[in-house]
Structure 1
Amino acid sequence: MKVVVVESPAKAKTINKYLGRDYEVLASFGHIRDLPAKDGSVDPEADFSMIWEIDSRSTKHVAEIARAVKGADTLILATDPDREGEAISWHVLDTLQKKRALKDVKVERVTFNAITKESVQKAMAQPRQIDQALVDAYLARRALDYLVGFTLSPVLWRKLPGSRSAGRVQSVALRLVCDREREIETFVPREYWSLVATLATQDGAQFEARLVGADGKKITRLDIGTGEEAEAFKRDLDIASFNVAKVEAKPAKRHPQPPFTTSTLQQEASRKLGMAPAQTMRIAQRLYEGTEIGGETVGLITYMRTDGVDMDPSAVQGARRVIGREYGEAYVPGVPRKYATKAKNAQEAHEAVRPTDLARLPGQVARYLDAEQTRLYELIWKRTIASQMESAELERTTVDIAAKVGPRVLDLRATGQVVKFDGFLTLYQEGRDDEEDEDAKRLPPMSADDPLSRKRIAANQHFTEPPPRYSEASLVKRMEELGIGRPSTYASVLQVLKDREYVAIEKKRLVAQDKGRIVTAFLEAFFKRYVEYDFTADLEAQLDRISNHEIDWKQVLRDFWQDFSAAVGETKDLRTTQVLDALNDYLGPHIFPPREDGGNPRACPSCADGILSLKIGRYGSFIGCSNYPECRYTRQLSAPADGDGEGGQPGTRILGTDPQSGLEVSVRDGRFGPFVQLGEQQEGGEKPKRSSIPKGTSPGDVDLEMALGLLSLPREVAKHPETGEPIMAGIGRYGPYVQHKRTYANIGRDDEILSIGANRAIDLIVTKETQGPGRRGGGDPGRELGKDPESEKPIVVKSGRYGPYVTDGKTNATLPKGLEAEGIDLEKAIELIRAKQASKGGAKGGKAAGKKTASKAATSKASASKASASKASAAKEKKPAAKKSAAKSKAASKPAASKTTKAKATKTGSNSAEAGSGEGA
């Protein structure tokens, strides 16, 4: 019997079918162990020795693998073909060796790029040993991430209350977003003008031409900087005569892009399908593990964590056959295309992400997949097929036009483009972030010296614009260009930034939040080297050199730790004023923008001589006056919104006037978040009416109509069908709700509060009333994900009062923030339920242990009092014995103190557990 270990149960089931009865395929369920979330798991003083701990949910899986191996002749480690996969195999092997479960058992390592019968059988015929260099690269990366997370995060907690964590790659990615925000804030628009002439040929065909020169000199985009200059050119063009000076038509080709890597897949899925990188990888994982088609479970795409753009020769030939059959031989290039990766520091060059069988058209597999899987599979299939198609053939035409005004000649130019043969464009065109259309319009036929007639002349004013904020796709692209992190980690890095609330998504763009900007400012001020792009990229290059057997992994750690620990040590003596001064300087354009009246942007608006400054409180950062406590002016960190100075307070944006009361309606920043307000607070009067802005709605998107709707809450939306009493809708502590008497039901979606209708409101209330008290989730039947392989109980995802959760009918586990009900799969659901079960068991065990310990302590105390008399008499008879006893007592007290210290460190470490786990920390 041969035991095969893979990572996921879905993969195990499929591979078992391929291999037959002589094999038992078991799943490790990902990593079986990790560094404990406490101080000391990596010890630089002991040459970076690492303590590994088996995850509580993995104990059963490890025991099952150990049981199976004891009766086997061969253990085959078949985890994923990358560093993490190699590391999982190493962890499994090391754990089994320590359990002495591998006596007389042969160990082999195999990898396959796709879960198909052919790929799996081919891999089994070509076993190898674990690649220790890849494992060393993993160990170095894991140690680096741990040391940065568990060393830097406590510094943040001490110096910046309210900050959550810092990580090796996370901090640099955050800096990219914050740097872009600073560019936008400090950007100074520049005025420029363009002149466009609408002209017509003798046949009456119209086209547009732009002014590009005058009197033999070129005019570039920003050269005409004032309206006066533009008007002078317009006057000349209004009286000029036009004729064609030159027509030039050049053939051009546009070549297809290579098939997907992890990074380009995430970028295109974001641009074309609106999927976040984490969502893309989750769906791709399911496509890789496969689905049942024609009675057989097959993997639909190759491994999705790769930097490679090459394809297996058989796949290339398969693509060419599909192209010829589906699109015609004209679309098949004479020679197959070969691609080389351009990514900086590309690691293990696996095959590109592609369908395992290119003859499996998207329309044929759609009925076996859900909607998201179908869309992603179609994207991957189209990109792969297009990468082997013929280039598009274009004709680009440039027409130079002379405009004569007496002796003066002005130069205009018109450009056009014609697609002569669409080639790969018939199937696929890469998405773009800037939504700019690359294809110029077709120009009418013209020849040199043809006269042209003027239809109109337009002088258009423009202003240069700041660089756009990063989308998730463009940030991934930029990180890859700089060599920061690895494509397989980009999704987790972005997710951590969102979970920590360092960034937010607004209109599909990443917006740096105050919390994230404070962290970045602190790191740039006091740990600048460690958030530099080149430093981080160089560290990644060193990890690649480790995996290539070029350098020793522990030497990399020694070099890093020597400087890093010294930098951390220097921050211990930092005074709060030093930190605040550095943050005030760095964040000045954000928190103290220039005033329109030219006054001091840091002058307190509430008192005569106060100066505003960044303050750090128990719950985070805010802006306060230097004259505190005499002046108690405070506001949130963000600079006042546009419209301040119109009678509102800082942080206020006036939306308009309520037509009923005549009072001003405004959006404001509050201690608990943004809100809308009607009117102003009058001295000695009642507080003005206010309403919270629903979660997920940007304050900048709130207009007068929405604000009035929010201020009308709670509002009646229906009458109860039985009692006839009103059903009200409002926003409460737990979000939007509907209410009938004492029955409350969460609406679920925050943006529904203003649009919810009578039918939906009645349905929610009636469902809640029929469910009865004490039951979670109401009448939502949920969506069944599958059955628990251990208990055979159905696992269901439901909507509950506090958000979506998964349940096996007995244990309920709330979905973590950022994970939507639509995106949960069976494996993740089981993991959450197991974790909840483990936490319940731990709590009970802790309580029992506590009682036992207390009882034991009482017994010890009684014994100690009995022994004290005999010790005292012994001390009288023999003084040296007392000395010896004191020495023993002193020695005994040391471990106790150490234990207490370690307990405190563990408590601190638990808060930074996420900070030290993985590159996304």
Structure 2
Amino acid sequence: MNVVVVESPAKAKTINKYLGPGYKVLASFGHVRDLPAKDGSVRPDDDFSMSWEVDAASAKRLNEIADAVKKSDGLFLATDPDREGEAISWHVLDVLKKKKVIGDKPVKRVVFNAITKKAVLDAMADPRDIDGPLVDAYLARRALDYLVGFNLSPVLWRKLPGARSAGRVQSVSLRLVCDRETEIERFVSEEYWNISALLRTPRNDTFEARLVSADGKRLQKNSITNGDQAKDIKSMLDGATYRVESIEAKPVKRNPSPPFTTSTLQQAASSRLGFSASRTMQVAQKLYEGMEIGGEVTGLITYMRTDGVQMAPEAIEAARLAIGGQFGARYVPEKPRAYSTKAKNAQEAHEAIRPTDFNRTPESVRKFLDADQFRLYDLVWKRGIASQMASADIERTTAEIEAKNQGRVAGLRAVGSVIKFDGFIAAYTEQREEIEDNSGEEEDGRLPEIRAQEMLAKEKIDASQHFTEPPPRYSEATLIKKMEELGIGRPSTYASTLATLRDRGYVAIDKRKLIPDSKGRIVTAFLENFFTRYVEYDFTASLEEKLDSISAGELNWKDVLRDFWKDFFSQIEQTKELRVSDIIDAMNEALAPLLFPERTDGSDPRVCQVCGTGKLSLKLGKYGAFIGCSNYPDCNFTRQLSADGADGEAAVAETVSFGTDPITGEDITLRSGRFGPYVQRGDGKEAKRASLPKGWTPDKMDQEKALALLNLPRDIGQHPESGKMISAGIGRYGPFLLHDGGYANLETVEDVFSIGLNRAVSVIADKASKIANGGGRGGRSTPAALKELGDHPDGGKITVRDGKYGPYVNWEKVNATLPKGKDPQSVTMEEAIALITERAAKAPAGKAKAPAKKKAAAASKTTEKAAAKPKAAAKPKTAAKAKAPAKPKASAKTKEA
């Protein structure tokens, strides 16, 4: 009997079926050990020796593997086919050697690029040894990330209170986002005009032509810069005669894009499907590991962490056969297509992401996949098969037109195209914007018949005003594309890097665009001023090249670490000499548009508006950065940095009244304090206050929302088993449920106001189950779907699920209990939508009904006291009582389990 070690338990089960009774397949569940998160885990003074730590769960799994290996004939290490997979195999083998269970047993490394029976059996028949240089590259990368993170982050904590962390790739990626924001802030919009003519042929067909020259001058996009100039040209064209100077029909070929790599899949899934990078990888992982089809678990796509664009020869041949069978012989090119990547530093060690079987069309497997899995597989299949299809033949027609009016001459151009042969577009229709356009010219629709030298009639002249726009903010997709172009990071790191930036609060996502938070910009400005080299794009890319050279066996990994550490350690030591005043001066200058935006009255934005003589400056306090006056303590003016970079716009200029509480009769007001905007009921020391949670802005507040906040914690109902009240509130770790002295985290602030009893009981039960199973204090899972009904009219899946206390319908964050006795499998889409609509109407997101006066009074002593663990929103303090504004505890990030 041979032991095979893979990463995933799902893969273990499938591969064990393929290999049969002579093998025992066990899962490592990913990495089995890592560097402890403390000083001394990597020791440069001891030739970069490392200490590895095994957690309890991994120790148990390693013991199981060791027991199996003791009784085995040999060991096959079959972790994922990338650098991380190679490292996991090395770690497992190292631990087994220390346990002295290997002896003289043969140990081999195998990689499964696809989880199909043929791919698995072929890989087992062609084993190899562990790739030493690839492991060395992993060790170098892991050591570098540790040395940067555990030496640079403490500098941030000492010099920039409130900063969370810095990292080798993370900080450079953040700089990209911040640099783009600076470009946007410095951008000066310019006016320009576009002029076009609607013309008619002698055959009464109309078409549009654009102005390209006037009075002997070629015109570019921004050549006409004001209304007077546009009006003059429009007037000339209104009275002009039009003649077709020339017609040119030119054949153009469009070639398909290569199959997906990790980054291009993440980009396409973001733009086409709205997936985040991490969601794309989650779904792709499941498609790679396999779905049960025809009674057998089969992987649908090849390994999804790769920067290679080539396919295996047998896959290309299979694709060509599938193209011929599904589209016809015309769609099969004479020769197979070969691709090479344009990405900087690409290793191309693995195949591109492709279907494992091109005859397995998306429609043929649709019933076995959920909606997200189907959509991603559909994308991979179309891109993969299109990559080996014939080029599209397009005829592009260009008409050059002359306009004359009393000696003045202008030129217009009309461009249109016709697809003569669709080629690969037949398979890849929905992704037309991703198709490579070799012409680089802008196209219109198809033109009518136009003949050279014929006269045209003018129907209308249109002059439209436009303004140049700043470069767009990065989305996850475009940031990944930029990182790949610069050679920053690797396919396996893109998703985790973006997740880190979000988790640290350095960037926020609004309408799928990445917006740097003020603390993210401050960290970037600090690093750019005092650690310039380590956030340079070229330096980071060159370090990636060295790591690639290590994996190729061309460089010694410890030599690379020595070269890096010598200069980096020197830079760290120099920061000890930095004075806080020097840092603040540098930040004030680098971030002036963020910290001191121009004022509408034209006055100096650095002058304090309260005392009139002090100078505003960045201040660094225990809870982060804020703006303060240089005349402190005589002048107590301070303000927080706004999240959107528009200084003061998110603050409350003055107290805003929302009327009176319908129960107590006290005034409800919106105010601004040192902890940011907050709502208050009544006056004096006993007034109830609540800070606005993260994501809530003053301009969107009203009486109903204010009352909802002030009436927290909110009683949801009695637990059906314990009979004790379940309440929801917002504490220092974010939104929570409280029951019988125990807490369970909620996902969003809106859940606090909308969650019903059924779901609340389920969340509490999931939390208890996680703890009982050793899953930590905060984890929980969502019940599996009993039935998928399809998409809601407003988007998002509707499913029927089984909670601990009965079945319910789920859509987004809305859960609606099924009527008593209703069979979950018999629920129709119409019934589900009706239940969801009814449930949502009872508790609209972000709002909550005010509890009865009696009930509120009775609950105030017990519920609020019990909620002391996740502290309620801190009362805003006056400027005279504190030097720096603290982050409102009510808006703190939810503590992760």
Q: Same fold (TM over 0.5)?
A: yes
Amino acid at match of 1:299: G
For 2:769 and 2:501, the matched residues in 1 are separated by 25
Equivalent AA in structure 1 for residue 115 of structure 2:
I
Q: Is the CA contact (8 Å cut-off) linking 1:805 and 1:812 kept in structure 2?
A: no
Deviation at 1:738, TM superposition (A): 12
Instruction: Tell me if 1:446 matches 2:450.
Output: yes
Cα distance change on mapping 1:305 and 1:406 into 2, 3 Å = same
Which SS does the other structure have where 1:139 is aligned? helix
Q: Within 5 A, what are the aligned runs for 1:393-404?
A: 393-404=393-404
Q: CA deviation at 1:633?
A: 1.1
Question: Is contact 1:152–1:166 with CA below 8 Å preserved after alignment?
Answer: yes
Measure how far apart 1:668 and its partner are.
8.2
Partner of 1:827: none
Give the structure, 1 or 2, with the largest relative contact order (CA under 8 Å, sep 6 or more).
Answer: 1
Partner of 1:408: 408
Q: Structure 1, residues 735-785: CA drift from partner, whole Å, max 9, x if none?
A: 78999xx9x99996545789x6xxxx7xx25x4xxxxxxxxx7433xxxxx
Tell me the equivalent position of 1:634: 638
Residue 503 (structure 2) aligns with: 499
Structure 2 CA distance, aligned partners of 1:244 and 1:417?
18
User: What's the counterpart of residue 516 of structure 2?
Assistant: 512
Q: 1:779 aligns with which of 761, 766, 771?
A: 761
- Pair 1:721–1:614, CA change in 2 (3 A): closer
Aligned match of 1:378 = 378
User: Which secondary structure state, in structure 1, belongs to the residue aligned with residue 102 of structure 2?
Assistant: coil
Give the corresponding residue for 2:473: 469
> What is the 5 A alignment of 1:607-646?
607-638=611-642
Tell me if the contact between 1:635 and 1:650 (Cα under 8 Å) persists in the aligned partners.
no
Task: Report the equivalent of 1:334.
Answer: 334
2:710 matches 1:710:
no
Q: Unaligned stretches of 5+ in structure 2?
A: 662-667, 719-724, 786-897
1:485-564 matches, cutoff 5 A = 485-564=489-568
Looking at structure 1, the residues matched to 123 and 650 of structure 2 have their Cα atoms a distance apart, in angstroms, of 66
Matches within 5 A, 1:256-405: 256-405=256-405
Mapped partners of 1:667, 1:441: distance in 2: 54
Trace 1:17-166 onto structure 2 (pairs within 5 A).
17-166=17-166
Counting only pairs closer than 5 Å after superposition, residues 633-672 of structure 1 correspond to structure 2 as 633-638=637-642, 651-652=651-652, 671-672=674-675
The one-letter amino acid paired with 1:445 is: E
Measured against aligned partners, the alpha-carbon deviations of 1:158-187 in whole angstroms (never above 9, x if no partner) come to 111111111100000000001001111111
- Within 2, Cα distance between the matches of 1:653 and 1:246? 63
Deviations 1:514-545 (A, max 9, x none): 11111111111100000000000000000011
The alpha carbon displacement at 1:116 in A equals 1.4
Partner of 1:252: 252
Please give the secondary structure, in 2, of the residue aligned with 1:410. Answer: strand
Separation of aligned partners in 1, 2:554 and 2:169? 23
Q: For the residues of structure 1 that align with 2:715 and 2:124, how far apart are their CA atoms?
A: 68
| Paired amino acid for 1:82 | D
Per mean C-alpha deviation after superposition, the further-off stretch among 519-528 and 316-325 is: 316-325
1:193 and 1:74 mapped to 2: Cα distance?
Answer: 75
SS in 2 for 1:54: coil
Distance 2:303 2:94 in 1: 25
Structure 1 spans left out of the alignment, 5+ residues: 768-776, 781-798, 825-921
Cα 1:477–1:185 change in 2 (3 A) is same
Distance 2:128 2:405 in 1: 80
Are 2:32 and 2:91, in contact at CA under 8 Å, matched by a contact in 1?
yes
Q: 1:395 offset after TM fit, Å?
A: 1.7
What is the CA-CA distance between 1:446 and the residue it aligns to? 0.8
Report deviation, 1:347: 2.0
The Cα shift of 1:568 comes to 0.4
In 1, distance between residues paired with 2:171 and 2:3? Answer: 42
1:637-675, CA deviations, whole angstroms, 9 ceiling, x for partnerless residues?
23898797xxxx8834899998999xxx99987655566
Q: Which range moved further: 145-154 or 112-121?
A: 112-121
Q: 2:790 corresponds to which residue?
A: none
In 2: Cα distance, 1:475 partner to 1:323 partner = 34
Q: Which amino acid aligns with 2:10?
A: A
Q: Residue type of the partner of 1:385?
A: I
Q: Deviations over 1:342-364 (max 9, x none)?
A: 22111252111111112112222
- Deviations along 1:412-463, one digit per CA (max 9) or x if unpaired, are 11222222222222222437699x9975222221112222222222222211
Per the alignment, do residues 637 and 451 of structure 1 end up closer, same or farther by CA in structure 2, a change over 3 Å counting? same
Aligned residues of 2:415 and 2:443 also touching (Cα < 8 A): no
The match for 1:4 is: 4
Q: Deviations over 1:87-125 (max 9, x none)?
A: 111111111112221112111112221111111111122
Amino acid at match of 2:761: G
Aligned to 1:840: none
- Report the Cα distance in structure 1 between the residues aligned to 2:717 and 2:537, rounded to whole angstroms: 63
Q: Match for 1:269: what amino acid?
A: A
Give the Cα–Cα distance (whole angstroms) in 2 for the partners of residues 672 and 103 of structure 1: 63
Q: Which amino acid aligns with 1:52?
A: W
CA distance in 2, matches of 1:494, 1:174: 9
> Partners of 2:710 and 2:160 in 1: how far apart?
42
Q: Would you say 1:430 and 2:393 are equivalent positions? A: no
- 1:232 aligns with 232
- Aligned CA distance change for structure 1 residues 9 and 643 (closer, same or farther; 3 Å): closer
Q: What is the distance in 2 between the residues matched to 1:592 and 1:394? A: 54
Instruction: Tell me the SS of whatever aligns to 1:31.
Output: coil
Deviations 1:543-584 (A, max 9, x none): 011111111111100000000000000000111101111111
- The verdict on how the C-alpha distance between 1:669 and 1:449 changes in structure 2, with shifts beyond 3 A counting, is farther
| TM-score normalised over the length of structure 1 | 0.76
Determine the structure 1 residue equivalent to 2:770.
807
Cα distance in structure 2, aligned partners of 1:109 and 1:92: 12
Letter in 2 for 1:536: T
Q: Distance in 1 between matches of 2:554 and 2:265?
A: 31
Asked if the contact 2:594/2:647 (under 8 Å) is kept, the reply is no
**Alignment partners' CA distance in 2, 1:117 and 1:163:** 50
The answer to whether the 8 A contact 2:8-2:30 is kept is yes
Q: Larger radius of gyration, structure 1 or 2?
A: 1
* 381-390 or 591-600, larger mean C-alpha shift: 591-600
Question: In the aligned structure 1, how far is the partner of 2:53 from the partner of 2:29?
Answer: 15
How far the C-alpha of 1:221 sits from its partner, in A, is 1.2
1:669/1:325 CA distance change after superposition, 3 Å = farther
Whether the aligned pair in 2 keeps the contact of 1:245 and 1:401 (CA below 8 Å) is yes
Deviation at 1:202, TM superposition (A): 2.2
Say whether the 8 Å CA contact 1:214–1:409 is kept in structure 2. yes
* Contact 1:210/1:412 (<8 A) preserved: yes
Deviations 1:767-815 (A, max 9, x none): 4xxxxxxxxx7433xxxxxxxxxxxxxxxxxx349x9886376656466
C-alpha distance in 2, partners of 1:51/1:604? 53
CA distance in 1, matches of 2:169, 2:709: 45
The residue type equivalent to 2:98 in the other structure is K
Using a 3 Å threshold, how does the CA distance of structure 1 residues 524 and 677 change in structure 2: closer, same or farther?
farther
Alignment match, 2:839: none
Q: Are residues 1:243 and 2:225 paired?
A: no
Task: Tell me if the contact between 2:398 and 2:416 (Cα under 8 Å) persists in the aligned partners.
Answer: yes
CA shift in 2, pair 1:596/1:688, >3 Å: farther
How far apart, in 1, do the equivalents of 2:337 and 2:292 lie?
32
SS at match of 1:570: helix
Corresponding letter in the other structure for 1:332: V
SS at match of 1:614: strand
Residues 72-91 of structure 1: CA deviation (Å, up to 9, x unaligned):
22111111111111111111
Pairs within 5 Å for 1:691-770: 695-696=694-695, 699=697, 707=702, 710-711=705-706, 713=708, 733=731, 750-751=749-750, 764-765=756-757, 767=758
Contact 1:694/1:751 (8 A) holds in 2: no
Pairing 1:572–2:535 present: no
Residue identity in the other structure for 2:431 = E
Deviation of 1:259 (Å): 0.7
